[in-house]
Amino acid sequence: MNLKGKKILVGVTGSIAAYKSALLVRLLIKVQAVVKVVMTDSAKEFITPLTLSVLSQNPVLSSFTDKDSETWNNHVDLGLWADAIVIAPATARTLSKCATGNCDDLLTAVYLSARCPVFFAPAMDVDMFHHPSTTRNISALAAFGNHFIAPEFGELASGLVGDGRLAEPETIVSELSAYFSQKSVAQYKRVLITAGPTLEPIDPVRFISNRSSGKMGYAIAEAFAAAGASVTLVTGPTHLKTTNRNITRLNVESAHEMFEVTKEHFQQHDLVIFAAAVADYRPAHVATQKIKKQGDELLLELTKTEDIAGTLAGKKRADQLTIGFALETEKEVEHAIGKLRRKNLDFIVLNSLNDPGAGFAHDTNKITVIDRDEKIHEFDLKPKEEVAQDILNIVLAKWSEA
């Protein structure tokens, strides 16, 4: 375990699963973490503050003021104190409040004040968990950079069977430990990521581009930055913004600009991920004035753009990792392996446009990762933030081997 001395704030909300928070706190103390507990008022209906106070060896807080001592429980100080916050159980109501910034109690105010990683462990009935509003709130919180510890499948308090059981306390502690292990591996690494589309001008008002939103590349950047890596993001035109201070963003437009900027920074990074959807061709001649409509046809002469991944990965150091992306519509694995070999990549991430919910513009993705030994790792359709975590975990495992 990597939790010795880590300051963990446990948030407990009003779910029947709140009884498990006692064991969670006990396990955290057992691995020598420092624990403070913040409860919502509704959580007190399921477990007493006294129980959690004895187990955590700290007073349990639930309001902004302590009426007996007339002291102020400063939510900002609590948010800055913690190395990690884990809200377990996290009810549908709490997820909604955190997703929308509705901080009407101490716990949600601490969440909004936190600068540390926050882990949500949902617990609710199966239909509540799968309701579109809950799914939307989870997606929003994941997009903010929060982490989720998935509920388990089983019999629920309602008598129904399905997803919604709070993850076992041992699982939650293991997830926290894994996070801090990842951070120790990644925190000294430098990661270069390309993302988004490129824009190839035809004239001052028209251009050639593609449907890439940049969401996948940005999610990967956020995942590596949250794990402690120093990230340089070379991005084509997109409306997306970065949130982590470990990310340095470099804006470009054309494939040529992306090539030049990526080439400039390539050698200084331990890992390079080519996630951008770079245009394969650009107009051979760019008109200096707007092209007027004349006749029934307009013929454009196109010329190839630079092969950014192929050119740079061919010059990589022995200790440098490179990851490419392949978006295919037929013979997906065959074509992806060909690209992996041809461009001298260590991994290739395959997307298929034949998979519903994958590819451009979606908030979800379904990937297959293939390594140099042609070992295939297949993943289910999931939010792009979770896909980014899968890619992060593969790289962390590779770094750990080294």
Annotation-wise, does 325 bind a ligand? yes
CA dist., res. 196 & res. 198, Å (int): 7
CA dist., res. 136 & res. 140, Å (int): 6
Dmax over CA atoms of the chain, in Å, equals 85
Closest CA to 336 of 356, 361, 309: 309
Strands 271-274 and 367-371: unpaired
102 included as an active-site residue? no
Closest CA to 13 of 41, 43, 33: 43
Query: Residues of 114-151 as b/e, b for ≥16 C-beta within 10 angstroms?
Result: bebbbbbbbbbbbebbeeeebeebbbebbbebbbbbeb
Annotation-wise, does 304 bind a ligand? no
- What would the DSSP string read from start to end of 243-301? --TTEEEEE--SHHHHHHHHHHHHTT-SEEEE-SB--SEEESS--SSPPPP-SS-----
Instruction: Give 61's DSSP letter.
Output: B
Closest CA to 88 of 157, 36, 24, 33: 24
Annotation-wise, does 180 bind a ligand? no
Annotation-wise, does 379 bind a ligand? no
Annotation-wise, does 343 bind a ligand? yes
Residue 121, SS3 per DSSP: strand
- Phi, psi values for residue 324, rounded to 5°: -115, 170
- The catalytic residue among 2, 73, 210, 344 is 210
Angle between helices 169-186 and 384-401 (to 10 degrees): 60
Q: Per the annotation, where are the binding residues?
A: 280, 290, 325, 339, 343
Which are the catalytic amino acids?
210
Q: Per the annotation, where are the binding residues for CTP?
A: 280, 290, 325, 339, 343
